[in-house]
Structure formats: C-alpha cells, structure tokens
C-alpha cells in the first residue's frame, strides 16, 4: 500500500486557504468548513489534519500518530499516506513549496 | 432563495448549523425572480447592530457554524463590516451573498480585514442587455468589475446565476466568463418559483429541450475545465419528478432571520398563511427554535399525509418543500406537487404546459418594484 502513495515522506502540507479547519465544541469533533459546506471529521482524521500546519513533514505526522495511538509506525504510515491522498484529491490540503 | 439542501455531512443533533441573516429587504436591483416577499414593504423595521450581534451570539451558542449575510442587498447596511467581524470572532465561517452593487474596493478590503471568508455574487447574464432585463437596472459592468476585485483580493467566490428561459441559451458563454474571472464555483441555479418568480413563471420557465441542451453543455465544460472550476447545475424541480430535500427538512439545520427579526425555517416560509412566526425582539432564539409552534409544525414526519407518510423516500426528501405545497395545492402538509407521486403533480405539469403555450416575451416581466433604492453605479 505504501508503494501506491505519491507523497514524499518529507513533504509538508497545510490546509488550503478556502477551508477553515477547527475544533467545534458543539459537535465534539474537528470540522472543515468551506463555501456552503461543512465536513465533520472522525478523531483520527482530525488528529492528522491538525498536524497539516505547514511545519510537520508526513514522516513527523506518522511518528506523532504512532505515539498517540500506541501503534507501530509501519502500521500507521500507509494509513496516513492514504488519508493525505484523499485530502489532497478533495483540495482540503496543499503541499508547501 | 430556497436551497435544495446544503452540502454537509453532519446533522445538527437537533440544533441549527446554518444561520442566514437577511439584513435588509432593500435592494438596488429589481429582479424579476427575486425570492423576497412580494409584500416586503410591510417588514422594513430592521434590527439594530446590537440586535443582530445578539442573534449571532445566541445561534453560535446553539451550535450554528456557517453564517450567511444576505438580503435584499446586505451591503446597504453600513454596519456590515462590524457584523462580519463579530461573526468571525464568534467562530463562524462567514459568507456574503451579494449582487455586488454597493461594494467598492475599499469595502472589500475592510471586509477581508473583518474576517470575511467567502463571497457569493449573484449574476444575471453574460449579455449586458439580458442582465438589464432580468435585474431591472443596468448593472453588468459594475458586477464584472466587482467580480474581478473580489478575485484580486483572494476571496473564494461562488458565482450564482439564476437560470431561466431568458438566459439558458447563454450557458456556454456564462461558463466561459466565469472561467475567465477565475471563480472556484459556478452555480447555475434554475429559478425556483416563489414570490416574484412565481408571478413571472410563464415568462421564466425554460423548455425541457433547453434544459437538456444546457445540461450537455455543462457536462462538456466540466470535462474541459477539470478541477479548476466546480460547476453546479441545479435542475428545476418542476421537471425532475422528485421533490428537493428542502432545507434538509423543516426546522432541521437551517435558521433564517428576516430583517425585522422574525425567525423562519427558510426565507420563503413567511409566505405561508396562518402561521405566526415569532421574532427575536419578543422571544429567546433557542426557545423559538425548540419550542415554538411554527418550528415544530412540520418537523420530523408525524405531520405527513399520504403518499409521504408511507413513502420509502421520506427520509431523503422530507416530502419536499412545504412552501411550494402551500403555494400550489393550498395545504403545506400535502406532498410537494413537484413529486410525481403527489396527487397534485398535474398542477406542476399544467404550469409547464402553460409556460410553453404562453408567448415568452421578456417585455412582460414584472419587476420587483418595492424596497428599491437607487444606487450610484
């Protein structure tokens, strides 16, 4: 699965400017808002996008999540890559140049 | 304008998610498809700045996340920037729904500073003459200029074009123009027939052939443009045979506040006779949402009659639009006659036939002529 990803482990992502990403107390969840739309994120997705701040590399995110969820990086890595690909495809995040 | 349902994948868990503030019914345009009430002069006692701020605060406490500043023309309110800043501070995603008339470069810059996230610009036509006919005033150049200023300041923008028989043949030109301006989203929204648009229905309704042609043109453009622009093409429910999931259900996630503080499940609901909608000047917003008779009347599905009550699709479309059921069948609890299962569906079919039979002549459009304020173009 890791082979299928197009994202370099050293890539850095940030939330695309059209989107507003934040914790929403009333939903007890992270939400992503954009013109005329809202996406409510599950806890794992919220943790990953929180770290898409332009500073963390994908590798950093993998390590932080493996600590957070007490899982091996080998288990976490393909899942993070896969989710970031989905996010990129939806235009939620953009790579830092 | 009543929306077919907003794009979201969460429910409000019994609370509003969307707050629409109709800051004023005043407008520098006189659109023949305007969704404001036809008796809007009766409701001109607008809330003050402090009253609007309290509404935003109360709705945010209830869980509302998206806020729309609409009208009329919201930029006619001098306190718009102040209200946007307050909404942004409260954590809303802020949307401005405007004709662009009343905006200037300076105001756009100030709105940006205030935290405005997104602008939806209403647009009539790619042809200045058609735009003039539809809006009742000459505003084409001003709108194009404002669209370019909005993009120059880096706002994401939805260009919203109400589609009718008068401009449906211009769909390819409208798409090219939107692509040239650089908008992210183009909404080709077939006019929905309420209020002023209902008055002008025979003149505005496109033919099925024109709709099919426009749909094919949209599909072609999507292929050419790829990801650079998203085009929404909202089919008119008169033709579709299925009702729209209006407002995601009555009193489900949408909260609209009229200029005078009256609280509505949607901006059209005011036209329902016999319903007394409470206002924020007399009642607490949360109690209106949760406890008022008007918000509970068509909530859920216990109010439904047949064929809705036993329909397998009632969870998807909620029986369609209550206002349309009222306007066309005389009872808001009837199935929306846009639904082919409705015993009143023939009313919609007759309206389509009537529009086709009438000589569609735009000189007979009745312009919205109340609440109009002249503005320097």
Chain A residues with CB inside 8 Å of B62's CB?
Answer: 26
Check whether A4 has a pLDDT greater than 60: no
Model confidence at B33, pLDDT cuts 50, 70, 90, reads confident
DSSP string, B81-117: HHHHHHHHHHTPEEEEEE-STT--HHHHHHHHHHT--
Q: Rounded to the nearest 10 degrees, how much is the dihedral formed by the CA atoms of B320, B158, B361, B2?
A: 20
B23/B78 Cα distance (integer angstroms): 11
Burial of B348 from C-beta contacts in 10 A (0-12 / 13-18 / 19+): buried
Q: How confident is the model over B255-310, as pLDDT tens digits?
A: 999 999 999 999 889 888 888 899 999 999 999 999 999 999 999 999 999 999 99
Contact B256, B267 (CB under 8 A): yes
What predicted TM-score, i.e. pTM, was given to this entire model? Answer: 0.90
How far away is chain A from the Cα of B353, in angstroms, using its nearest Cα?
34
Residue B368's pLDDT is what? Answer: 67
Beta carbons of B30 and B368 less than 8 angstroms apart: yes
Chain centroid, CA B132 distance in Å: 20
Q: Between B15, B120, B227, which is nearest A26 by CB? A: B15
Q: State the pLDDT at residue B3.
A: 38
Is the pLDDT at B229 greater than 80, yes or no? yes
User: What backbone torsions phi and psi does residue B316 show, to the nearest 5 degrees?
Assistant: -90, -40
pLDDT at B38: 78
Q: Could you tell me if B195 and B222 are in contact, meaning their C-beta atoms sit under 8 angstroms apart?
A: no
Q: Shortest CB distance from B156 goes to which of A18, A24, A29?
A: A18
Chain A touched by B15 (CB under 8 Å): yes
Of B210, B121, B118, B133, nearest to B172 by C-alpha is B210
Q: Would you state the pLDDT for residue B155?
A: 94
* pLDDT (0 to 100) of residue B271: 82
8 Å CB contact between A14 and A93 = yes
Tell me, what's the pLDDT at A5?
45
Q: To the nearest whole number, what is the mean pLDDT of chain B?
A: 90
Percent of chain A residues past pLDDT 70, beyond the cut:
93
Q: How far apart are CA B143 and CA B159, in angstroms?
A: 11
Q: Across residues B215-236, what is the average pLDDT? A: 91
Instruction: Out of B65, B117, B185, name the one closest to residue A31 (CB).
Output: B65
B101: closest CA among B134, B152, B133, B135?
B135
Q: How confident is the model at residue A2 (pLDDT cuts 50, 70, 90)?
A: very low
The dihedrals phi and psi of A79, each to the nearest 5 degrees, come to -70, -40
ipTM of model: 0.84
Asked whether residue B329 carries a pLDDT value surpassing 80, the answer given is yes
Q: Per the CB < 8 Å rule, is B10 touching A26?
A: no
A18 CB neighbours in chain B (<8 A) are 118, 156, 184
Q: Which of A3-7, B160-164, B289-293, B332-336 has the lowest mean pLDDT?
A: A3-7
How many angstroms separate the Cα of B15 from the Cα of each of B10, B303, B375? 11, 20, 39
Could you tell me how far CA A27 lies from the centroid of its own chain? 19
- For the segment A45-56, the average pLDDT, to the nearest whole number, is 96
Burial class (CB in 10 A: 0-12, 13-18, 19+), A8: exposed
Which residue of B18, B65, B254 is the best one to mutate when testing the A interface, meaning the one whose CB has the most A CBs within 10 A?
B65
Q: Hey, is the C-beta of B70 within 8 angstroms of any chain A C-beta?
A: no
pLDDT of res. B6? 43
Q: Do residues B93 and A33 touch, judged by C-beta distance below 8 A?
A: yes
Q: Which residues of B touch A22 (CB under 8 A)?
A: 91
Token look-up 């505003």 returns B139
Chain B residues with CB under 8 Å of A38 CB are 8-10, 17, 65-66, 93
Distance CA A23, CA B359 (A): 55
Q: How far is A32 from chain B (nearest CA, A)?
A: 10
> Which of B1, B5, B8, B116 to substitute to test the interface with A, most A CBs within 10 Å?
B8
Per-residue pLDDT reduced to its tens digit, B80-135: 999 999 999 999 999 999 999 989 999 999 999 999 999 999 999 999 999 998 88
Tell how strand A12-15 and strand A53-57 pair up. Answer: antiparallel
Cα gap B127→B233, rounded to integer Å? 20
Put simply, the answer to whether A35 touches B65 (Cβ < 8 Å) is no
- Phi, psi (deg, nearest 5) at residue B294: -65, -35
Phi and psi at residue B187, to the nearest 5°? -110, 110
Percent of chain B exceeding pLDDT 90 equals 71
What phi, psi does B49 have (nearest 5°)?
Answer: -55, -45
Least Cα distance to B290 among B12, B13, B10, B14 occurs for: B14
């Amino acid at each position: 699965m890791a082979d299928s990803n197009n994202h370099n482990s050293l890539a850095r992502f940030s939330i695309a400017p059209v989107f507003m990403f934040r914790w929403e107390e009333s939903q007890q969840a992270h939400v992503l808002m954009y013109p005329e739309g809202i996406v409510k994120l599950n806890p794992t997705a919220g943790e990953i996008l929180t770290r898409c701040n332009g500073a963390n590399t994908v590798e950093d995110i993998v390590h932080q999540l493996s600590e957070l969820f007490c899982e091996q990086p080998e288990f976490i890595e393909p899942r993070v890559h896969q989710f970031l690909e989905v996010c990129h495809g939806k235009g939620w995040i953009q790579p830092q140049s | 304008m009543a929306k077919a349902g907003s794009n979201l994948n969460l429910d409000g868990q019994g609370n509003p998610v969307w707050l629409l503030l109709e800051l004023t019914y005043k407008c520098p345009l006189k659109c023949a498809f305007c969704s404001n009430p036809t008796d809007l002069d009766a409701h001109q006692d607008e809330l003050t700045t402090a009253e609007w701020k309290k509404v935003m605060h109360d709705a945010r406490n209830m869980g509302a996340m998206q806020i729309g500043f609409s009208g009329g023309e919201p930029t006619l309110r001098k306190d718009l920037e102040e209200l946007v800043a307050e909404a942004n501070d409260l954590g809303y995603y802020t949307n401005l729904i405007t004709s662009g008339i009343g905006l200037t470069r300076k105001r756009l810059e100030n709105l940006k500073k205030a935290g405005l996230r997104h602008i939806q610009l209403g647009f009539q036509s790619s042809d200045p003459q058609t735009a003039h006919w539809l809006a009742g005033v000459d505003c084409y150049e001003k709108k194009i200029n404002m669209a370019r200023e909005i993009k120059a300041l880096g706002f994401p923008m939805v260009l919203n074009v109400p589609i009718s028989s008068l401009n449906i043949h211009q769909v390819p030109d409208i798409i090219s123009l939107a692509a040239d301006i650089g908008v992210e989203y183009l909404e080709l929204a077939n006019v929905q027939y309420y209020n002023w648009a209902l008055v002008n229905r025979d003149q505005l309704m496109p033919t099925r052939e024109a709709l099919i042609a426009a749909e094919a043109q949209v599909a072609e453009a999507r292929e050419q443009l790829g990801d650079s622009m998203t085009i929404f093409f909202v089919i008119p429910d008169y033709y579709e045979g299925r009702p729209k999931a209006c407002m995601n259900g009555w009193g489900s996630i949408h909260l609209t506040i009229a200029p005078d503080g009256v609280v509505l499940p949607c901006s059209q609901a005011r036209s329902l006779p016999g319903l007394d909608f409470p206002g924020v000047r007399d009642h607490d917003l949360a109690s209106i949402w949760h406890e008022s008779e008007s918000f509970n009347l068509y909530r859920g599905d216990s109010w439904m009659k047949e064929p809705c009550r036993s329909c397998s699709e009632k969870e998807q479309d909620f029986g369609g639009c209550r206002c349309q059921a009222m306007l066309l069948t005389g009872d808001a609890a009837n199935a929306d006659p846009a639904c082919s299962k409705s015993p009143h569906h023939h009313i919609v079919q007759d309206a389509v036939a009537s529009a086709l039979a009438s000589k569609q002549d735009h000189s007979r459009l009745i312009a919205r002529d109340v609440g109009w304020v002249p503005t320097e173009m």
